[in-house]
Amino acid sequence: MIIESLKENEIPVIAELEKTCFSKPWSEESIRSSFNSPSCGFYTAKLENIVGYIGISIAADEGYILNVAVFPEHRGNGIGRALVNFLIDKYKESLSFLTLEVRPSNTAAVNLYSSLGFEKVGERPSYYSNPTENALLLTKYFNSDKEI
Ligand X SMILES: CC(C)(COP(=O)(O)OP(=O)(O)OC[C@H]1O[C@@H](n2cnc3c(N)ncnc32)[C@H](O)[C@@H]1OP(=O)(O)O)[C@@H](O)C(=O)NCCC(=O)NCCS
How near is the Cβ of 2 to ligand X at its closest, in Å?
Answer: 15
Interactions with ligand X, residue window 44-103 (CB under 6 A)? 67-70, 75-81, 100, 102
Contact 101, 124 (CB under 8 A): yes
Cβ-based nearer residue to ligand X, 11 or 21: 21
How near is the Cβ of 91 to ligand X at its closest, in Å?
Answer: 17
Q: Kind and range of the H or E element at 114?
A: helix 107-115
Cβ-based nearer residue to ligand X, 28 or 101: 101
Q: Is 141 helix (H, G, I), strand (E, B) or coil?
A: strand
Per-residue CA distances from 49 to 4, 54, 70 (Å): 12, 15, 12
DSSP letters, 17-79, are: HHHHH-SSPPPHHHHHHHHT-TTEEEEEEESSSEEEEEEEEEETTEEEEEEEEE-GGGTTSSH
Cβ-based nearer residue to ligand X, 12 or 72: 72
Which of 57, 96, 106, 134 binds ligand X (CB under 6 A)? It is 106
138 lies in the binding site for ligand X (CB under 6 A): no
CB atoms within 10 A of CB 4: 10
The DSSP bridge pattern shows strands 133-141 and 119-128 to be antiparallel
How near is the Cβ of 144 to ligand X at its closest, in Å?
Answer: 26
How near is the Cβ of 131 to ligand X at its closest, in Å?
Answer: 14
115 lies in the binding site for ligand X (CB under 6 A): yes
Give residues in contact with ligand X (CB under 6 A): 21, 67-70, 75-81, 100, 102, 106-109, 111-112, 115
